Amino acid sequence: MKSIAKSNIIKAVIIALLIVPTMLLFQSSQLKGDKDLKIGKKAPMTSTNLTGVNGNSYNLDKLTQENGLIVIFSCNTCPFVVGSDGFEGWEKQYNEIYKTAQENDMGVVLVNSNEAKRTGVDSQVEMKKRAEDNAYKMPYVVDTDSKLANAFGAKTTPHAFILDKDKKLVYKGSIDNSWDTKKTELKTYLYNAIANLAEGKTIEENSTAPRGCSIKRTK
């Protein structure tokens, strides 16, 4: 009997050793934004207030217009945002995206989730300077503790999400494929999605791989 009991204890310990690391890995993946918001699902945290660089408070509910809202996770220094020798950076398109969105009755917001750099290059002071230097026309808001990025499953800067008027996700991914030096044609994913949504058409390419720098989380 003692032998059987001892065997059962050993089995229990082995199972625990296998399960605990798996649970920790799962929890870690959630913190890193590995749980993606799925196409067709309603966006989370739409009523959560986020502070803009101008000191005003915004939330996704209020920013959503007649045809929806574009949420772009961005930052102040990533070469995919600000540009580099080999790529001009998507930041150059931000105001054009805003213009296109306005023409199609959609809102736009830029979200900075780089909490690990909040006391440095992605501080609210530096965000305000970035917005002013580049004449951002849309709100640029702070995502404290990367909570919105985690809820959306945002991975990179930039990473674009389009919500319809009901705040359901209809597109996520890259702005376009201009980063790809081997491309045979320019594919304007985000602009195509905006046009299709405004016209009530199906967005065929509704999910593309995001390209950019990883969001700098603290956990």
Q: Where are the domains of the chain?
A: 1-31, 37-214
Q: Is the CB of residue 179 less than 8 Å from the CB of residue 190?
A: no
Collapsed DSSP state (helix, strand, coil) of residue 87? coil
Q: What percent of the chain has pLDDT over 70?
A: 84
Quote the CA–CA distance of 88 and 46 in Å, as a whole number. 32
> What type of residue is 185?
E
Residue 21: predicted pLDDT = 37
**64 — phi, psi (to 5°)?**
-70, 130
Residue 143: predicted pLDDT = 98
pLDDT, one tens digit per residue, over 86-98 is 899 999 999 999 9
Residue 85: predicted pLDDT = 87
The residue among 2 and 54 whose pLDDT is bigger is 54
- DSSP letter string, 190-217: HHHHHHHHHTT---SS-B----SEEP--
Q: How confident is the model at residue 3 (pLDDT cuts 50, 70, 90)?
A: low
Quote the CA–CA distance of 108 and 33 in Å, as a whole number. 21
Q: How confident is the model at residue 9 (pLDDT cuts 50, 70, 90)?
A: very low
**Alpha helix locations (H) across 1-113?**
2-31, 60-63, 79-82, 94-103
Cα 106 to chain center, whole Å? Answer: 17
Indicate the DSSP class of residue 92: G
Quote the CA–CA distance of 208 and 27 in Å, as a whole number. 25
pLDDT, one tens digit per residue, over 117-127 is 999 999 999 99
Q: Does domain 37-214 have CATH number 3.40.30.10?
A: yes
Q: What is the pTM of this model?
A: 0.84
Quote the CA–CA distance of 142 and 127 in Å, as a whole number. 9
